[in-house]
Chains A and B, each alone.
Chain A
């Protein structure tokens, strides 16, 4: 199936760019690779029939959040991260090992655990903007409103923290 091949292709790009985000010393490059990662995730959302979320992923993450990151990185004029002192190397190796262990442990659990999750549903009706909008304004109205209030107050707090004048 060509479509499933597309999924694996996007997955490969996502994982590759995610690794580059984490390993890159230069924060600007990290941000650019993060955008790439978000775009491939948006593609995967499309393949999983979450159309509205695919658009949102690009709008919010690639559009708003990444611009914010790049803006701050350039505002603060950050150069390359300094190399770490020697004794830290051990700590880094340890964290890498722990994370790999975590990954394999959890993937084992998930694959073994989701024994009954096999048969894929055939018909899918929930991906449309209509369905999402309806749920958002009926069943999930309260979280939606609380989130809007939070955004307002977070905006005020952010302006307060970032402006120079007291």
Chain B
């Protein structure tokens, strides 16, 4: 391995934290989805690192499937956003609050 595993994990952790921060910080649903993509990519990076470390292909298969499902999840999320935008003209999750007492 060209760099110690810890450095890969630290980078992955940094990206993950930035993603978590984005989910908590942003109010725009689309940017929130981008932050979630960041989180998933951080996980992928960690998996690739571990897979390299153990010389096992399992981690890479995991990454492959995470990518597939992330694509499906984003597509569904964006479709819901479009449906919502058609009715409400907003994607700001603070303004989306009909369901509250």
Using a CB–CB cutoff of 8 Å, the interface residues on chain A facing chain B are 1, 3-4, 7-8, 11, 14-15, 18-19, 21-22, 24, 27, 30-31, 34, 37-38, 41, 44-45, 47-50, 52-53, 56-57, 60-61, 64-65, 68-69, 72-73, 75-76, 78, 81-82, 84, 92, 95-96, 98-100, 102-103, 106-107, 110-111, 114, 117-118, 120-121, 123-127, 131-132, 134-136, 139-140, 143-144, 147, 150-151, 154-155, 157-159, 161-162, 164
Contact = CB atoms under 8 A, between A and B. Distances in A.
Contact of A7 (B3, B9, B60): B3
Contact of A131 (B7, B25, B52, B57): B57
19 contacts: A3-B2, A18-B38, A21-B22, A22-B21, A53-B44, A53-B48, A53-B63, A68-B78, A76-B81, A81-B28, A95-B21, A99-B17, A99-B20, A99-B21, A107-B10, A114-B5, A123-B55, A126-B57, A161-B82
A144 B68 CA distance: 10
Interface of B: 1-11, 13-15, 17-22, 24-28, 30-31, 33-35, 37-38, 41, 44-45, 48-49, 51-58, 60-61, 63-65, 67-72, 74-76, 78-83, 85-86, 91-92
